[in-house]
């Protein structure tokens, strides 16, 4: 029973993989569908005489709907799943079991960070694939290169989210406080991003790339955020490893 198999079992036996894949696949199905039929939906809802005039949906709208729905709830689920694995001191007796057998303590984190990231990124890419296919079937094919580039930037954002959760988990006392603190940081970023000069440097802006690039955005718009995200992810993982070693069980 290796620590890698332990993390695989954590995902499968606790059904966390179902939560991750379920959220992204569900929004992958719903997003393009709602983009395609939004006019019909509004007409059936009843508008008391008001008339809505909307342009015909484009393939890019399918990805926009997917991202707008999945980015927030998906990120929330990623943080919850990652925190459950990364806050290994939340139950002190479990922390003692691991810390007295694995030295130095950062080695405990390696499989947890890697497996959490791979599961979250896999679920995101699966949802993206579903949204892409359904957009193609309902609205026409979105351009492949921008979709792939947007998905790659989305994966970079997920890496940042997992690294942030890993660092917070080494200071927080419980899974709940790890989740809440991580979410506060992630929510604070878009608020900072209200200032246009700051927005393009924030890792959270990468979450929107999958919607923006197929709609005509350029990769250059995301280079600052990608650079910051790569550096921040590296520093956060390093910080998590350092804090894991300093913490007293």
Partner 1 sequence: MIRTRGLVKRYGSHAALDGVDLEVPPGSVYGLAGPNGAGKTTLLGILAGLRMATEGEVAVDAAPGKVAVLSDTPRFDPWLTGREVVALALYLSSEHGSMTAIESAARVDEVLGQAGLEEASGRRCGGYSRGMLQRLGIASTLVARPVLILLDEPASALDPQGRREVLDLITTLRGHATVLFSSHILGDVQEVCDTVGILHHGHLLFQGPLRDLLVGRAVPRYELRVRTGADAVVAALSREPWVTSATAAEGGIVHIEVTSLADAELRLMGALAATGASVVSIRPEEVSLERAFLELTS
Q: Contacting partner 1 (CB under 8 A), which of 40, 48, 56, 248?
A: 248
- Of 96 and 235, CB closest to partner 1: 96
The number of residues that bind partner 1 (CB under 8 A) is 22
| Window contacting partner 1 (CB under 8 A); options: 8-16, 25-33, 155-163, 210-218 | 8-16
- Of 44 and 101, CB closest to partner 1: 101
C-alpha distances in Å from residue 246, one per residue of 96, 104, 170, 239, 241? 14, 10, 9, 11, 9
Q: Contacting partner 1 (CB under 8 A), which of 40, 51, 101, 197?
A: 101
139: which 2 tokens?
């609205």
State the nearest-atom distance from the C-beta of 92 to partner 1, in Å.
Answer: 7
Sequence length of the chain is 249
- Of 105 and 142, CB closest to partner 1: 105
Q: Is 47 in the site for partner 1 (CB under 8 A)?
A: no
Residue 39's closest CA among 26, 19, 56? 56
**Residue 35 contacts residue 67 (beta carbons within 8 Å):** no
> CA quadruple 185, 190, 195, 201: dihedral positive or negative?
positive
Distance of CA 244 to the CA centre of its chain: 24
Q: Is 245 in the site for partner 1 (CB under 8 A)?
A: no
| Window contacting partner 1 (CB under 8 A); options: 23-31, 93-101, 125-133, 218-226 | 93-101
CA distance 128 to 34: 15
Site string for partner 1, 162-201 (x = CB under 8 A): ----------------------------------------
Q: Is 110 in the site for partner 1 (CB under 8 A)?
A: no
State the nearest-atom distance from the C-beta of 99 to partner 1, in Å.
Answer: 6
First and final C-alpha spacing in the chain: 24
Place of tokens 């892409």: 132
CA distance 172 to 159: 20
Q: Which residues here bind partner 1, judged by CB under 8 A?
A: 1-3, 6, 9-10, 13-14, 91-94, 96-103, 248-249
């Amino acid at each position: 029973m290796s620590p890698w198999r332990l993390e695989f079992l954590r995902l499968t036996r606790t059904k966390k993989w179902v939560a991750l894949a379920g959220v992204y696949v569900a929004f992958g199905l719903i997003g393009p569908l709602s983009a395609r039929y939004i006019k019909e939906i509004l007409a059936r809802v009843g508008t008391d005489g008001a008339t809505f005039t909307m342009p015909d949906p484009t393939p890019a709208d399918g990805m926009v709907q997917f991202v707008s729905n999945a980015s927030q709830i998906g990120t929330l689920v990623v943080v919850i799943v990652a925190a459950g694995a990364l806050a290994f001191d939340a139950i002190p007796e479990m922390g003692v079991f691991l810390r007295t057998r694995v030295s130095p303590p950062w080695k405990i984190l390696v499989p947890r960070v890697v497996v959490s990231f791979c599961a979250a990124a896999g679920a995101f890419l699966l949802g993206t694939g579903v949204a892409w296919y359904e957009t193609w079937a309902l609205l026409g094919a979105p351009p492949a290169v921008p979709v792939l580039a947007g998905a790659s930037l989305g994966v970079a954002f997920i890496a940042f989210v997992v690294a942030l959760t890993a660092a917070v988990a080494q200071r927080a006392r419980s899974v709940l406080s790890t989740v809440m603190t991580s979410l506060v940081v992630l929510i604070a970023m878009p608020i900072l991003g209200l200032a246009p000069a700051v927005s393009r440097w924030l890792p959270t802006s990468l979450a929107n790339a999958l919607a923006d690039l197929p709609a005509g955005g350029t990769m250059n718009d995301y280079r600052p955020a990608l650079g910051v995200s790569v550096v921040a992810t590296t520093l956060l993982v390093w910080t998590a490893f350092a804090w894991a070693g300093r913490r007293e069980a």
